[in-house]
Amino acid sequence: MSKDLEKGLSRGLTNYGDKDFSIYLRRSFALSMGYSKSVLKKPIVGIANSFSGFNNCHRHFPELLESVKRGVLLAGGLPIEFPTISLGEVFLSPTSLKFRNLMSMDTEEMISAQPMDAVVLLGGCDKTVPAQLMGASSADIPAVQLVAGPMMTSRHKEQRLGACTDCRRFWADYRANKVTSEEINLIEGRLATTAGTCAVMGTASTMACISETLGMSLPGTAAIPAVHADRLRAGEASGIIATKLIENPIKPSQIITEKSVENALRVLLALGGSTNAIIHLTAIAGRLGINVNLKKLNQLSDTTPVLVNLKPVGSDYMEDFFYAGGLGAVLRELKPLLHLDTLAVTGETLGDRLEQDSGYVDRKIISKFSDPLEKQGGLVALFGNLAPRGAILKRSAADETLFENEGRAIVFKSLEDLANRIDDPELDINKEDFIVLQNAGPKSSSGMPEAGYLPIPKKLSAKGVKDMVRISDARMSGTAFGTIVLHVTPESAVGGPLALVQTGDHIRLSVKEKKIELIIDEEELKNRSEAWSNSEPSLEKRRGYDRLYASEVGQADEGCDFSFMLPVRSLKKSTGKKIEIK
Ligand code: FES
């Protein structure tokens, strides 16, 4: 009996002090759901379903779920769906990132505590895929990620529209009085018109490509539009593969390795992908004890070209990427730079896949390695006395003329301060200044929102100013663009140097040297550090998950994961202490 206790319905029994009684009772209750006894003997594939009425991107999941179930049944397994937390990007306050770790814990615990031999992870919207991959990595049973797929584009007059780069573009035009309120209201109903994730290479699509590169999703599935019939075929195939993995198990820890993580970083850079993805990949890798180092990111960035011409970096949309050849075409271009012996859920190596994977490539969307859109990767990490542990700039979505630059800092102490003063006609600011936002990092009460895309003051945007250097410890939506320095680490809320910047200070940015420096006397910086006090509410004034989060969340360079979620062998203390500046 003991061998059977590790399989199917008999896995991980509820403890009543009598194993035979536990399985008897479980089977009896399962029979109450109408299963026959023979069906209950089959291997079980759990399906982690993150459908929610608060998640527009997942609205097609009921149909997608059926396709996964069909695949599991065809392969001889028993599919059992279970719900998990869902994270609909725009429906969560203060920001979805705050709940990514909660969803990852939910996913891990429900995979581990319930009787399943393998799992299909049904996710898509920005934070759901990293949360599921983090949870599945920690649970470490065979797992296949199936993503929602991107939305289709829509139309406004002669223009194509896709969430959400165009949302920001039109909103900026509205702020600059170039679009009327009637027109912006009309556009509101045209930006997101189908099921699926944002239509550009934002965080969701970047994470879908990363999951496929890591080997956790089936080849060729990252870019299939949500409403395309191929998405349902991908669901069926994912169910089949998950069932097959029960006989020949390959666990996430065999798939997500140092080499596959490096491949994923290369792909992120070649896509000109979302800055959020570096945080998520760090967190996923961290769950398996793999360290993602920002200095390494820079080394890879220097030798990885940008190949994909999609918004927000380029001009096109995810559906174009799918028809242009998708991720397979990008991987083939990057082949000389990739580790080819990494393993996928299919049991094949990346090298095996790239031997077979070929086909039409639209070179307007996916460039050749020898003729890239940009010679260097889309992201660069900056270091210096303002960001001793690093900051991120998406250089592929920024204005190059601002890259080697010094400016006067105009400081906003919080998001509230920003909202109150940024459009004040009396604000002393001009286009050469650097806008600095403090207290928007992971431990702040704002929870590191996607607020790093700081608005250009109305009085400047009305004069045609489209970009300025903007610096914060916040994140930026993967669909946004601009010369925006993000994830400054350590953050303001732990007394990092960003907290010490004052209006009128000067900051030097050099993308060439990968530097971000506050031009200040060392003694003065030390004095400011000694005088600094935290303006965030103390832990005693916070409760529940909010308190757990503030207490345990790591910094951006640690993937903003909870320190206690790392594997036991790499557990370390929380870094939320005041940083000493020497
Ligand atoms: Fe879900 Fe953009 S809102 S992916």
pLDDT digits (tens, 9 = 90+) for 195-252: 999 999 999 999 999 999 999 999 999 999 999 999 999 999 999 999 999 999 999 9
Say yes or no: CB of residue 197 within 6 Å of ligand 1.
Answer: yes
Supply the residue whose CA is at minimum distance from atom 1 of ligand 1.
125
pLDDT of residue 445: 92
Choice from 55, 58, 95, 125 to test ligand 1 binding pocket (greatest atom count within 8 A of CB): 125
Q: What's the CA-to-centroid distance between 63 and ligand 1, angstroms?
A: 19
The stretch 99-115 carries a mean pLDDT of: 98
Choice from 61, 127, 197, 477 to test ligand 1 binding pocket (greatest atom count within 8 A of CB): 197
Say yes or no: CB of residue 59 within 6 Å of ligand 1.
Answer: no
User: 109: pLDDT confidence band, cut at 50, 70 and 90?
Assistant: very high
Q: What's the CA-to-centroid distance between 146 and ligand 1, angstroms?
A: 16
Quick check: helix, strand or coil at residue 325?
coil
In the predicted structure, residue 351 carries a pLDDT above the cut 90 = yes
Q: What's the CA-to-centroid distance between 156 and ligand 1, angstroms?
A: 20
Say yes or no: CB of residue 204 within 6 Å of ligand 1.
Answer: yes
The stretch 370-387 carries a mean pLDDT of: 96
pLDDT of residue 571: 66
Say yes or no: CB of residue 454 within 6 Å of ligand 1.
Answer: no
Say yes or no: CB of residue 126 within 6 Å of ligand 1.
Answer: yes
List, as one string, the DSSP characters of 529-558. HHH----SPPGGG--HHHHHHHHHBPPGGG
pLDDT of residue 6: 80
Asked if residues 149 and 196 have their Cβ atoms less than 8 Å apart, the reply is yes
The owner of tokens 């031997």 is 355
In the predicted structure, residue 576 carries a pLDDT above the cut 60 = no
CA distance linking residue 313 with residue 297, whole number of Å: 19
The stretch 132-151 carries a mean pLDDT of: 98
User: 358: pLDDT confidence band, cut at 50, 70 and 90?
Assistant: confident
In the predicted structure, residue 572 carries a pLDDT above the cut 90 = no
pLDDT of residue 511: 96
In the predicted structure, residue 4 carries a pLDDT above the cut 80 = no
Per DSSP, 370 falls in state T
User: 3: pLDDT confidence band, cut at 50, 70 and 90?
Assistant: low
User: 579: pLDDT confidence band, cut at 50, 70 and 90?
Assistant: very low
Say yes or no: CB of residue 191 within 6 Å of ligand 1.
Answer: no
Q: What's the CA-to-centroid distance between 3 and ligand 1, angstroms?
A: 43
Q: What's the CA-to-centroid distance between 239 and ligand 1, angstroms?
A: 24
Say yes or no: CB of residue 125 within 6 Å of ligand 1.
Answer: yes
Q: What's the CA-to-centroid distance between 57 and ligand 1, angstroms?
A: 6
Say yes or no: CB of residue 450 within 6 Å of ligand 1.
Answer: no
pLDDT of residue 402: 96
The owner of tokens 């695949």 is 71
Q: What's the CA-to-centroid distance between 197 and ligand 1, angstroms?
A: 5
Say yes or no: CB of residue 57 within 6 Å of ligand 1.
Answer: yes
Amino acid in the structure at residue 338: L
Q: What's the CA-to-centroid distance between 15 and ligand 1, angstroms?
A: 41
What are the φ and ψ backbone dihedral angles of 565, each rounded to 5 degrees? -90, -5
Say yes or no: CB of residue 89 within 6 Å of ligand 1.
Answer: yes
Q: What's the CA-to-centroid distance between 234 and ligand 1, angstroms?
A: 20
Sequence length of the chain is 582
In the predicted structure, residue 578 carries a pLDDT above the cut 50 = no
Strands ordered across the beta sheet of 143-147: 78-83, 44-49, 118-123, 143-147
> Could you read off the pLDDT of 464-495 as tens digits, one per residue?
999 999 999 999 988 788 999 999 999 999 99
Q: What's the CA-to-centroid distance between 479 and ligand 1, angstroms?
A: 10
The 3-state DSSP composition of the chain as helix, strand, coil percent (nearest 5) reads 40, 15, 45
pLDDT of residue 144: 99
The stretch 524-552 carries a mean pLDDT of: 94
Say yes or no: CB of residue 198 within 6 Å of ligand 1.
Answer: yes
pLDDT of residue 120: 99
> Could you read off the pLDDT of 279-308 as tens digits, one per residue?
999 999 999 999 999 999 999 999 999 999
pLDDT of residue 581: 36
Say yes or no: CB of residue 86 within 6 Å of ligand 1.
Answer: no
Mean pLDDT of the chain: 95
Say yes or no: CB of residue 344 within 6 Å of ligand 1.
Answer: no
pLDDT of residue 479: 79
Q: What's the CA-to-centroid distance between 50 and ligand 1, angstroms?
A: 13
pLDDT of residue 5: 63
In the predicted structure, residue 2 carries a pLDDT above the cut 80 = no
Q: What's the CA-to-centroid distance between 310 and ligand 1, angstroms?
A: 16
Say yes or no: CB of residue 477 within 6 Å of ligand 1.
Answer: no
Q: Which has more confidence, 580 or 508?
A: 508
Say yes or no: CB of residue 90 within 6 Å of ligand 1.
Answer: yes
pLDDT of residue 575: 47
pTM above 0.85, yes or no: yes
Choice from 50, 57, 147, 168 to test ligand 1 binding pocket (greatest atom count within 8 A of CB): 57
pLDDT of residue 574: 45
Asked if residues 135 and 107 have their Cβ atoms less than 8 Å apart, the reply is yes
Supply the residue whose CA is at minimum distance from atom 3 of ligand 1.
89
Q: What's the CA-to-centroid distance between 575 and ligand 1, angstroms?
A: 30
Nearest residue to 469 (alpha-carbon basis) of 382, 537, 533: 382
Q: Which residues of 301-339 are buried (b: 16+ CB within 10 A; e: fewer)?
A: beebbbbbbbbbbbebbbbbbbebbbbbbbbbbbeebbb
> Could you read off the pLDDT of 153-197 as tens digits, one per residue?
999 999 999 998 889 889 989 988 999 999 999 999 999 999 999
Residues 6+ apart with CB under 8 A from 553: 101, 442, 443, 560, 561, 562, 576
Q: What's the CA-to-centroid distance between 160 and ligand 1, angstroms?
A: 18
The stretch 309-320 carries a mean pLDDT of: 94
pLDDT of residue 580: 38
Ligand 1 nearest-atom number relative to CA 148: 4
Q: What's the CA-to-centroid distance between 109 and ligand 1, angstroms?
A: 25
Ligand 1 nearest-atom number relative to CA 163: 2
Q: Tokens representing 422?
A: 């940024």
Ligand 1 nearest-atom number relative to CA 164: 2
Supply the residue whose CA is at minimum distance from atom 2 of ligand 1.
198
Ligand 1 nearest-atom number relative to CA 56: 1
